[in-house]
Amino acid sequence: MSWPGVISAYRAYLPFAESTPIVSLNEGNTPLIRADRLAEALAPGAGLQLYLKYEGLNPTGSFKDRGMTAAITQAVHEGARTVICASTGNTAASAAAYAARAGLRCLVLVPQGKIALGKLAACLAYGAEVISIDGSFDDALALVRELVQRHPIALVNSVNPWRLEGQKTGAFEIVDQLGGRAPDWHCLPVGNAGNISAYWLGYQQYGRGLPRLLGGQAAGAAPLVHGRVIERPETLATAIRIGNPARWQQALQALDASGGIVTAVTDAAILAAWRLLARLEGVFVEPASATGVAALQQQIALGEIDPAGQTAVCVLTGHGLKDPDTAVQQAAPPHRLPADLAALEGYLGRET
């Protein structure tokens, strides 16, 4: 049977009116991939059961589609003609796609020069009006929050509660895919903190056990870890380059209630985890998406998490093709050879 999208699949758990028509791209139903080689690299011989929730396989290439189907569905239901968001890129691409499908005008504000190429390309292709702000994501979010006070425009950032309603379906899927139980550890990147808040709502509502949450922030953009706003957040993981998360308190409550951990990892550690995902498991993600794996690796190494016999799920939030520039910069350039067999055989026999 074909998958109908997250609202139809989990409608009994979502507060939509019965008559509300759904705007969907059949998002969700992403694979939960067992990662034994990566588990062995992170915790040799410990019997860690590690799974990757590959959210990059959603229709616009990130988990944001789960929340966006809900936010746009509700916006249409309430009669909106225009939607707006501030974004580091993935929210914008997702809003642009779902707005196109619903026939809405879509404005997206992005921080100047800090949006990855694949995200910008998608926004433009979907026909969104892309506005580049001389400022950070936090500046852009403050602007759109003020704008929607004065104009009849629907805000589809994760301050919109419908985004969390949609995103919590990720927790339902993980429980279903694990055969009806939550993992011991749920690891993910934390930027604006909507996703960690939504997952916690989802696990609680589903009632099949609760994981401990492990949130990873980039060292240069770690307000939750330092307990203060970061004025100029910096990290190559642009999706989590956020200094003043909108869901700050909700995320702290979720972390606390779960007996969880929030930690900062360096860009080098994020890239190391990003490389392991691709090279040990064949799973290509954008850098921010590897932050949950980097956090798990760090906490195991520090002895804060005992991996023995534990089940851990790392949410991989966005696809690697979102940020091709970083991928190319991180690698050696391709080998060049003349078009002849001897040269190729010479290369083959080379020490690697």
Ligand X SMILES: *Cc1c(COP(=O)(O)O)cnc(C)c1O
The residues that touch ligand X, with contacts defined as CB under 6 A, are 62, 64, 90, 158, 189-195, 239-240, 286, 288-289, 317-318
What's the closest the beta carbon of residue 327 comes to ligand X, in angstroms? 14
Nearer to ligand X, 16 or 248 (CB): 248
Quick check: 41 and 35 in contact, CB under 8 A? Answer: no
DSSP label of 122: H
Find all residues with CB under 8 Å of 33, minimum gap 6, and list them.
Answer: 51, 52, 54, 281, 283
Nearer to ligand X, 94 or 310 (CB): 94
139 CB neighbour count, 10 Å cutoff: 15
Nearer to ligand X, 4 or 324 (CB): 324
Nearer to ligand X, 202 or 307 (CB): 202
Q: What totals of helices (H) and strands (E) does the chain contain, helices first?
A: 15, 10
Q: Please name which of 114, 41, 62 lies closest in space to residue 318, comparing C-alpha atoms.
A: 62
Quick check: 249 and 200 in contact, CB under 8 A? Answer: no
Nearer to ligand X, 73 or 94 (CB): 94
The tokens describing 227, both together, are: 């307990």
What's the closest the beta carbon of residue 94 comes to ligand X, in angstroms? 9
What's the closest the beta carbon of residue 79 comes to ligand X, in angstroms? 27
Cα 231 to its chain centre, rounded Å, is 22
Query: How is 138-182 classified by DSSP, letter by letter?
Result: HHHHHHHHHHHHHSS-EE-STTSHHHHHHHTHHHHHHHHHTTS--
d(CA 213, CA 1): 33
What's the closest the beta carbon of residue 201 comes to ligand X, in angstroms? 12
Instruction: Give the CB-nearest residue to ligand X.
Output: 318
What's the closest the beta carbon of residue 175 comes to ligand X, in angstroms? 20
Q: Which helix (H) or strand (E) holds 43?
A: none
What's the closest the beta carbon of residue 217 comes to ligand X, in angstroms? 9
Nearer to ligand X, 28 or 189 (CB): 189
Nearer to ligand X, 64 or 212 (CB): 64
What's the closest the beta carbon of residue 190 comes to ligand X, in angstroms? 5
d(CA 36, CA 314): 13
